[in-house]
Amino acid sequence: MSTSDIASIKTEVAQAISAATGKDELEALRIKYLGRKGLLAEMTQSFATLPAEEKPQFGRAINELKAYLVGLFAEKQKSLESSGKEEKNAFVDIGMPGIAQEIGRMHPLTQVIREICEIFSRLGFLVVEGPEIETEENNFTGLNIPLEHPSRDAFDTFYLKNQKLLLRSHTSPVQIRAMKSRKPPLAIVVPGRVYRPDALDASHSFMFHQIEGFMVDKNIKFSDLKGVLEAFAKSVFGDQIKMRLRPHFFPFTEPSAEVDISCIICKGKGCSVCGRKGWLEVLGSGMIHPNVFKHVGYDPEKYTGFAFGMGVERIAMLKYGINDIRLFYENDLRFLKQF
């Protein structure tokens, strides 16, 4: 077999491969030309019968032919695969159901915040938010918190470098901001994050959430505070819940009271959750101190008001029976998917 024969074989195979329209047809051609009993194998066997002077040239021609055919088959295979993908994707049945995406869930703290704000909105309160970086005046001075009060100490507050700004330690500064910019009557609730340098444990965190609420108008009484808080407690924990107020002290309210609800676990009988007392503390409250009114330019002889503040994590832990605040921040889907 001469080199001219090899050239004609190249042309023949190239035409056959080009005309192939499917993978099966292409595979049949590959076996015909490159298989163990194919044309190339027959040509290689004839190598031994050639004169010695023709062997080097014929060997090179055979190797070139094999490389050429392998390249043609690989290129055609790639072309058929690409054409098959295009044909497969050419038609899309829009009536077929799509691949369902897992729907995310709202974080339990966000759920509780929205629930609480919705309750107070129905009672006529306006939801207002404020900055998390606050001035010392709004966070302490305006709320009648004296310079010597321990909450002003760096051990209890995150101060920024210039010592005039800080990360708010409660949502009450928004009360000062709102009263400075608005005139009575006011009924406002303030949700938001607050910061205190507390050691992290099952019941404390250096960042947590509060909801502040206050109402200011003429002739606002302590009984109004009690009625609003009772409506809130029953909405969150159920109509069977009982509520009590205990005397307490807060610099920005006078008189002040802490609010307890009957234990939602033992129904007031006493258990490990409530420390065998039958009661659980949920928030602090009181009548707004006259000094706070003076600071914002309200006449304490003309206006009265009440304020209250609660920890959202505390409410959520009681509502859902959670015993560790850290669970809210660990991003464990096994925990979060329960809500």
Dump pLDDT digits (tens) for 240-281.
888 999 999 999 999 999 999 888 777 777 777 677 788 888
pTM for the structure as a whole: 0.67
More confident residue, 45 or 129: 129
The per-residue pLDDT of the chain, averaged, comes to 86
Phi, psi (deg, nearest 5) at residue 15: -65, -40
Query: Cα–Cα–Cα angle for 184, 116, 220, nearest 5°?
Result: 30
Domain ranges of the chain: 3-89, 108-336
Residues in CB range of 19: below 8 A, 6 or more apart: none
Report whether the peptide linkage leading into residue 185 is cis, meaning its omega lies within 30 degrees of zero: yes
Residue 86 exposed, middle or buried by CB count within 10 Å (0-12, 13-18, 19+): exposed
Structure tokens at 62: 């055979």
Specify whether the CB–CB gap between 183 and 189 falls below 8 A: no
Q: Is the pLDDT of residue 337 over 90?
A: no
pLDDT on residue 62: 76
Distance (Å) of CA 250 to CA 90, 132, 215: 72, 22, 17
| CATH of span 108-336 | 3.30.930.10
Q: Do the domains spanning 3-89 and 108-336 agree at the CATH topology level?
A: no
Instruction: Quickly name the fold that domain 3-89 has.
Output: Methane Monooxygenase Hydroxylase; Chain G, domain 1 (1.20.58)
What digits encode the pLDDT tens for the residues 210-221? 999 999 999 999
Per-residue pLDDT tens for 186-243? 999 999 999 999 888 888 899 999 999 999 999 999 999 999 999 999 999 888 888 9
